[in-house]
Chains A and B, each alone.
Chain A
Amino acid sequence: MRGIWTFVEVQDGAIEDVSLEVLGKASELAREKGVESSAVIAGWQLSNIVEETAKYPVDKIYYVEHELLRQYSPSAYAKALHQLVERHKPEIMLFGATYNGADIAARLAVKTGAGLIAHVVGLEIERETGMLIGHVPGFGGSIVAVCRCRPNVLQMATVRPGVLEKPQPAGGNAEIIKFSPELNEQDVGLRLVERSVSPTIDITRAERVVVAGMGTGGDLTPLKQLAEKIGAELAVTRPLADMGAAPRDVQIGSTGYSLRSKLAIIAGASGAAHFVSGIRDVKTVIAINTDPNAPIFEFADYYVVGDLFKIIPRLTQALAR
Chain B
Amino acid sequence: MKIIVCVKVVPKVEEVSFDPETKTLDRSKATNELNEADKNALEAALRLKEKVGGTVVAVSMGPPFFEPFLKLCVAMGADDAVLLSDKAFAAADTYSTSYVLAQAAKKIGYDLILCGESTADSGTAQVPPQMAEWLGIPHVSYASTIEATDGKLLVRRTVKGGYELVETPLPALISVELGSNTPRFPDFKRKRWADREFKLTIWGSKDLTLDMQNVGRQGSKTDVIDLRMLAPTERKRIKIEGTEEEIAEKLASIIKET
With A75-B138, A103-B141, A150-B220 in contact, is A286–B164 under 8 Å at CB?
no
Indicate whether A74 reaches chain B with its CB closer than 8 angstroms. yes
CA–CA, A281 to B231, complex, Å? 12
Smallest CB–CB gap between B131 and chain A, Å?
A: 9
Cβ A284 vs Cβ B166 within 8 A: no
Cβ B251 vs Cβ A304 within 8 A: yes
With A99-B142, A143-B230 in contact, is A106–B251 under 8 Å at CB?
no
CA–CA, A102 to B233, complex, Å? 29
Indicate whether B208 reaches chain A with its CB closer than 8 angstroms. no
Indicate whether A290 reaches chain B with its CB closer than 8 angstroms. no
Q: How many A-B contacts at CB < 8 Å in the complex?
A: 258
A317 partner residues in chain B, CB cutoff 8 A: 248
Cβ A302 vs Cβ B221 within 8 A: no
**16 contacts across the A-B interface (CB closer than 8 A):** A78-B133, A106-B94, A106-B129, A110-B130, A116-B222, A118-B125, A118-B126, A119-B124, A238-B179, A255-B118, A297-B237, A299-B233, A301-B235, A302-B251, A303-B238, A315-B247
Cβ A286 vs Cβ B125 within 8 A: no
Residues facing B in A134-148 (CB within 8 A) are 136-148
A13 partner residues in chain B, CB cutoff 8 A: none
Quick one: CB contact mask for B142-160 with A, threshold 8 Å, 1 for yes? Answer: 1000000000001001111
CA–CA, A194 to B125, complex, Å? 24
B255 partner residues in chain A, CB cutoff 8 A: 230, 263, 265, 286, 315, 319
Contact surface of B with A, Cβ cutoff 8 Å: 13-14, 16, 18, 25, 93-95, 98, 118, 120-126, 128-130, 132-134, 137-142, 154, 157-169, 172, 178-180, 220-230, 232-233, 235-240, 244-245, 247-249, 251-252, 254-256, 258
CA–CA, A319 to B227, complex, Å? 45
Interface residues of A, dominant DSSP: mixed
With A248-B158, A285-B235, A318-B248 in contact, is A143–B227 under 8 Å at CB?
yes
Complex interface: stretch among A40-48, A163-171, A305-313: A305-313
Size class of the A contact interface (CB-based, 8 Å): 35 or more
A142 partner residues in chain B, CB cutoff 8 A: 18, 229-230, 232
Residues facing B in A260-316 (CB within 8 A) are 262-263, 265, 272-274, 280-286, 297-306, 310-311, 314-315
Cβ A195 vs Cβ B164 within 8 A: yes
With A119-B124, A150-B220, A302-B236 in contact, is A311–B138 under 8 Å at CB?
no
4 tightest Cβ-Cβ pairs between the two chains A and B: A242-B179, A189-B138, A197-B162, A115-B221
Cβ A138 vs Cβ B123 within 8 A: yes
Cβ B248 vs Cβ A314 within 8 A: yes
A254 partner residues in chain B, CB cutoff 8 A: 123
CA–CA, A111 to B136, complex, Å? 10
CA–CA, A118 to B118, complex, Å? 11
Cβ B230 vs Cβ A140 within 8 A: no
CA–CA, A156 to B139, complex, Å? 20
Counting chain B CB atoms within 10 Å of each CB, which of A105, A297, A300 scores highest? A300
Cβ A241 vs Cβ B179 within 8 A: yes
The chain A residue sitting closest to B14, CB to CB, is A273
CA–CA, A317 to B249, complex, Å? 9
Indicate whether A177 reaches chain B with its CB closer than 8 angstroms. no
